[in-house]
Structure 1
């Protein structure tokens, strides 16, 4: 993409109401623009990052055996009355009356709707287990939306829902998602710690939040020092219940809990290894038994002919929130440092002198070769000072930068810079292409 044809409204200074790093940088780098309190438009650069995160989430959900559907944003209040949550949920739910005086709501979550869909589709134990997921916009009318996309009112979320015949099956489904989440966040370059957490309005008695440590995080968290060097999850067969349980046990043997679920005995046992920090929640998983299936009349025929209410769990990932969380975990004083897997472009190509025919010819040629190789490239072909171009590429955080200037052309080299380390090297255009291709 040529920057001269792109929509990238950069800001030199952070707005006064931007309090945390991710909010400041998302505005300065032209990823989003606020349209109302807690509601944001996603501009081209931000949308590409959002879609890359969504792709990774989808791939790991599919790999775990979950099946994708798409549920609407608007829901009937009647569904929520069936579960008993309509009046209990609170003012965060945006309630609406349509032209026929039917009560509707903008969905904050989808337990009721997915339960009703499965109730109409499942007949017997042969239809279970199943895990259904979708990636859809949600709305929660936060009383004080703040911190940009980290605590907005409208947000993109992956929510999945599992249906099993009994508790043992439901815990296996829970473990599938536990491990899928570990893989998902590791692929994005994040160290997300699964912490014992409160179930809140979702319900149930088993829950983990996946927390990314960040000084500006919204929650106080407590954990054993061993988590500072946690490893990526090993490959595992998602159908092997014992192997999955082993991974989950291995990850939960060291203490980690949110403020609401602190355990004084385990904290005392940790001794000097106990750590306190702030954290950002990027995922939350729940097992809540038959809370929704029983209240909403979901029952299937069991192997002995009796009617059984399936055991359920729900599993959320804040897709749009992850954009902010990644920035909180990966930035410096010059701007964003995108991990390769989620970066909007792999390469930032800088033509230092657009008024120099040799520079422009060399830059255009390399741009064409990068495109032919399938390497997404942001090509700064603007008539701007070199310093402004360097600052732009550092701010938007593209992993590789290739600089083409008159002096380099004379020597037959380009400059290749790795954004994360700042390492710079001069090499031929062919070698630079080979390096960024990996």
Structure 2
């Protein structure tokens, strides 16, 4: 393939709005063209990478025993109402009407539709277990598309769904998908770690994310260097610092002029932040909620949302705070009525805390739960942070940034019961299928491949996903010796099963070499008068920079051997 046939338009500099390395290189290498926020067109070169990723995914899902299906991207809204997620997805769900005014949704995921299919295909325990997967377009009206291909409004996902007779066989299906994911990411050249994760709008019992650790990531991951515990910040568990012990003392009102923050109040009264009671105001599905947590901790809004069973949780605006008569900076749950009070366990288990007096410039000493105030709901809603103690072994947790690459869920019977996915067991009894769900974002994986495989000069594609095996730079095209060597090389590459991208443009050698490094094929071969004088063509490894001069036939054989070795090692 000649490079001029591919509509490749490289850029010396990336647009200013491209912040992540992968985003900059995607644009500079001409792999994608932005259409609108969260929407990208793929050029022929970029699409070849996408197809390679899909091939790897298909091979490993098929190897795991999963069966490929294809489901519509356009869903009758009734399916989403039946599952209860039409409201839960909120504005993320794209909605539209057909000419008969029937409402539809563009699928952000396919639990409802796969359940519809399974309810009509599964009848008996003899039909189980089965795992079905597809590679299909998804649509989500993301409020903040970012990072190039990291967070999109239209994207391709491999989503798989397992159906089992019980939790024990679900574990086997889950483990098979988990192992397939490990192979997929290894072959794609992206190092990942599994971490405990929140199930979010998908729901279910247990879930894990496969995370690529990188400072460019948007997720916060808590890691324990002692026992290896790893979890997304939304899910991470920890042991807070112990409470300062003491018998409940009489509550007393104290003047705290101008002191509003936890740090200011603690310093003024000579106590530690863990001896204070923090008040935080939220709206849960539009209704006010008073949150009480110890002053040295922060609220984990995902844990709070889960504890409340809410679709959405957001900080309360100042106007609503004033309307409810709450005093920001001097509030506490003491005497509060008409608003549910959600307490973190730290606030309940700690005696003699300093809390607000619900009037400006005054606080209360020795506030105790059960005597001075009562929580509507007690839950663990604190956010884990660097230095917090691991719940498993007690060592200090560390914080890293990462990108979620894949997510696996144990859904249980949640969707089966709502969507009517039942089977008859050995005794003729009707039972709900136990389901699992497994997703990988194709475009996000492409971005992560670049994040994990690039240098200052450009992309360094792993062999299995590279758009071409070798980048051939021709210098002196039209000269008889060069043309003869190029022809010999092309034939040798073809015999070896290798696909070259040939750059015989009328450009300077410097431009061609820069484009070769930017586009990042695993091997570069230079056909030039200078190389021919040295006895052949110049072969350069993109990853190591190692350079050799070989005959065209030997060059093809060496490249084929390097490719086979790299692919075998990755598998």
- Which residue in 1 is equivalent to 2:451? 328
Q: State the shift of 1:274 in Å.
A: 4.6
Q: State the shift of 1:421 in Å.
A: 1.1
- Which residue in 1 is equivalent to 2:517? 394
Q: State the shift of 1:220 in Å.
A: 0.9
- Which residue in 2 is equivalent to 1:149? 149
- Which residue in 1 is equivalent to 2:49? 49
- Which residue in 2 is equivalent to 1:292? 415
Aligned to 1:80, the other structure's residue is in SS state: helix
Q: State the shift of 1:272 in Å.
A: 6.7
Instruction: State the TM-score, normalized to the length of structure 1.
Output: 0.91
Q: State the shift of 1:268 in Å.
A: 6.2
Of residues 482, 491, 496 in structure 2, which corresponds to 1:359? 482
Instruction: State the TM-score, normalized to the length of structure 2.
Output: 0.70
Aligned to 1:62, the other structure's residue is in SS state: helix
- Which residue in 1 is equivalent to 2:38? 38
Q: Take 2:479 and 2:443, find their aligned partners in 1: how far apart are those partners?
A: 41
| CA shift in 2, pair 1:79/1:155, >3 Å | same
May I ask how many residue pairs the two structures share in their alignment? 412
Give per-residue Cα distances to partners, 1:85-119, cap 9 Å, x unaligned: 11111111101111110110110000000001010
Of residues 337, 344, 350 in structure 1, which corresponds to 2:473? 350
| CA shift in 2, pair 1:361/1:112, >3 Å | same
Contact 2:469 2:522 in 1 (8 A): yes
Contact 1:349 1:367 in 2 (8 A): no
Of residues 258, 261, 264 in structure 1, which corresponds to 2:232? 258
Segment drifting more, 405-414 vs 344-353: 405-414
- Which residue in 1 is equivalent to 2:204? 204
Aligned to 1:322, the other structure's residue is in SS state: helix
- Which residue in 2 is equivalent to 1:249? none
Unpaired runs of 5+ in structure 2? 240-388, 562-571
Give per-residue Cα distances to partners, 1:358-381, cap 9 Å, x unaligned: 212211321232123320110011
| CA shift in 2, pair 1:362/1:135, >3 Å | same
Contact 1:204 1:286 in 2 (8 A): yes
Of residues 497, 506, 511 in structure 2, which corresponds to 1:383? 506
- Which residue in 2 is equivalent to 1:238? none
Give per-residue Cα distances to partners, 1:9-56, cap 9 Å, x unaligned: 111111111111101100100100011211111111110111111000
Pick the structure with more helix per residue: 1
Give per-residue Cα distances to partners, 1:223-269, cap 9 Å, x unaligned: 2448xxxxxxxxxxxxxxxxxxxxxxxxxx72111111112157266
Is it true that 1:73 corresponds to 2:109 in the alignment? no
| CA shift in 2, pair 1:15/1:126, >3 Å | same
Contact 1:74 1:106 in 2 (8 A): yes
- Which residue in 1 is equivalent to 2:406? 283
Segment drifting more, 168-177 vs 306-315: 168-177
Contact 2:6 2:45 in 1 (8 A): no
Segment drifting more, 64-73 vs 365-374: 365-374
Q: Take 1:225 and 1:164, find their aligned partners in 2: how far apart are those partners?
A: 36
Is it true that 1:427 corresponds to 2:401 in the alignment? no
Give per-residue Cα distances to partners, 1:378-421, cap 9 Å, x unaligned: 00111111111110110011000011111221232211111011
Q: State the shift of 1:222 in Å.
A: 2.0
Q: Take 2:99 and 2:538, find their aligned partners in 1: how far apart are those partners?
A: 62
Q: State the shift of 1:423 in Å.
A: 1.4
Q: State the shift of 1:350 in Å.
A: 0.8
- Which residue in 1 is equivalent to 2:133? 133
CA RMSD of aligned residues (A): 1.5
Give per-residue Cα distances to partners, 1:115-136, cap 9 Å, x unaligned: 0101011111111111000001
Q: Take 1:344 and 1:30, find their aligned partners in 2: how far apart are those partners?
A: 13
Q: What is the 5 A alignment of 1:143-222? A: 143-222=143-222
Q: Take 1:301 and 1:148, find their aligned partners in 2: how far apart are those partners?
A: 47
Segment drifting more, 81-90 vs 271-280: 271-280
Q: Take 2:513 and 2:413, find their aligned partners in 1: how far apart are those partners?
A: 57
